[in-house]
Each structure stands twice: as structure tokens, then as C-alpha cells.
Structure 1
């Protein structure tokens, strides 16, 4: 309806399909000509608040993640974070592992993706693309470190599902002491990788819990 009270029937019919136009034109209009007002239906007074918007967004996220796989994954991630932050290891180790799980480390692959460097070759093996999964689990150097440790873990090919998935599995299968050792070992491999990159030297990891 325009300012003079006429309904723009022709305009509606020219823009929308016949069915859509009929539905639009069937909407009853007020005779009181009150000005349009924005109303936020999630608050009783109709006023938008960030608190109610947060609850809407949170509930929407739950609606989209109701499948069994999603629920299982959410539970696994929560279990992992709980185990990580309660671990008896230095804070720098926890932060390092958290960054690994969220793919927030400046690996060669991530740096190449951000166009910081042109190649993403692994610092250790000089062959494969250096992702978080490769450098910490699948590189021959890392595979040897994991298997020769007291954990005797076979990590070759275990990173195909993602590092976070592997960590969830470790948090559920390892004892608390072994999980703490795994965290320190991850930090140690990362530290050796950085030493190899910046100084061309590393350090032996036969006893990763004593690594500086």
C-alpha cells in the first residue's frame, strides 16, 4: 500500500509468481496506518538483546547437530579438552597441544596456504607436505619417536582422520599418566621441529619427559 492508500496489485503481480502474489495480496492490512516497527519476538517487550540472540544462535547450533555422529563428536571434544586442561603438564605443553588440535600451528602447509612461503615440505623428512598430522604422527622421524617411547604407539597412517580425532582416541584409551606423557611428547616433537628449522639442530627424544 502506498502513502495514498492504494494497494500495488500490479507491481506485486509483475514481480512474483501467480501463487506467491495471491498469498501476498491476501495478507490483511491495518486501517489505522500506524508506522512500521521492528519487533524482536524472542523478548516479551519486543526489544532486541544480545543475550536472547546468543540463546537463539546456541539453540540453532544444537538443532543442526542432533545426529548421532555429531553428538558423539561433541562429547569426544569435550572429553578431550577436559583431559587436556586437567593434565599434570606445564601450561606451555597444554597450549601447544591445543593449537595442534585446532590446526593453529604455523606448519609449512598452513604458511603456504596463507601465501607466506611457496613450498610446504616437511622439515624432518624433506619429502611430504608438512601438516600437523604429518609432522607429529606420520613423518618417519615422528613414527620412530612414538614407537620407541614407553608408549610404543604405532602412529603411521593414524593422522588420516585429523589430529584432533586421534587425540580424542588417545584421551579415551590411555591412562592419565600415559596421556600426560603423550602430551609432553607432542610438545617435544614440535620443539625439535622448530630447532631443526631455525638452528639446523635438534635434540634426542629417548626420554621426552626430560626434554627442555
Structure 2
């Protein structure tokens, strides 16, 4: 199980320990290393003809666009945490955004951000593979439930293992 996510060049981010589910840590780790399966890579290799975001249909889908830059993601962050929605992070690098947010947010807010980021990715996948886009409020609910479960289980000493 991943116990930490190492983010180079960050004081507070060097070895940040999280009390969040492994699937959440794994997603953020993959995003920080720019290895999430978005449409950007197959488009660059001429495998697909378009890299347009499958959710907003506005711009090219990148690792950063889906959880942060997409209009749909912005609606989710507005509902989840207006402080995040109003955060201005420039750049197209997820690692840069993560570093900025890890400095800005409390541990509780970081863990919640990671859980909602996972829920955004799950909503993106549902839109791609099942042609169904859930309302932003549902994404927030799923992320907060995931985060709440991890807070409850880590404080009670219970360890849950899920295959999802």
C-alpha cells in the first residue's frame, strides 16, 4: 500500500502522509507523474483523431484539465470548496497544482481534495465508458463520502480493503 506521495522540490510536500484510501493516493501519484490515461497521449501518437475533453467538449483533455481546468471540474470545486474554486494556479502541470494546494490547504482539506479529485476522475470515466455524466453535486457527494470513510476508519483503527 502506498503510504506517501513524494513531491520533489517542496518543503511541506517532500513526504506527505495521507489518511486516504489507496486508490486515491494512486490516482494522485499517477496524475503527478503525468501517466493518467487521457486522450492527450493517443492523440499525440496519431491513434485517435481528437483529444477533445469527453466531458466539456471544449479543449484538449490533459492530466491537469480533467480534475482542475475543465468547466465541469470547476463546477465541482465551486460546490465542494469555494476556496479551491477561487484558487488561481497557473500552468498545465498537475505536480505544480498539487504542490501549490499542499502548501495552501490544511491536512483535512488536502485529504478532501484528493478524494474529490478521485471522484472527478471516476465521473470522467463514467462519461467516457457509459455515456453518463453525473451532476457535479453527486461528484462532491461521492468524494466527501470517500473522504469521510477514510477519516472514520483511520480514527477508529479499522482498516478496510476494497477491490475498486
TM-score range, shorter chain: 0.7 to 0.9
Contact 2:51 2:61 in 1 (8 A): yes
Greater Rg over alpha carbons, structure: 1
Instruction: Report the equivalent of 1:95.
Output: 26
1:142 to 73, 98, 101: 73
Q: Which residue of 1 aligns with 2:144?
A: 209
Distance 1:160 1:108, change over 3 A: same
SS of 1:105's equivalent?
A: coil
**TM-score, normalising length from structure 1?**
0.58
Unmatched segments (≥5 aa) in structure 1:
1-72
Structure 2 equivalent of residue 82 of structure 1: 15
- The structure-2 alpha-carbon separation of the partners of 1:157 and 1:171, relative to structure 1 and needing over 3 Å to count, comes to closer
For residue 82 of structure 1, report the CA deviation from its aligned partner. 1.6
Normalized against structure 2, the TM-score is what? Answer: 0.74
Work out the CA distance in 1 between the residues paired with 2:102 and 2:108.
11
Partner of 1:173: 104
Cα 1:95–1:131 shift into 2, 3 Å: same
Structure 2 residues not aligned, in runs of 5+: 1-6, 147-163
How many pairs align?
137
Q: State the shift of 1:157 in Å.
A: 6.2
Higher relative contact order (CA 8 A, sep 6+): 2
Query: What is the Cα deviation at residue 87 of structure 1?
Result: 0.5
- CA positional deviation for 1:186: 0.8
Give the superposition deviation at 1:151.
5.4
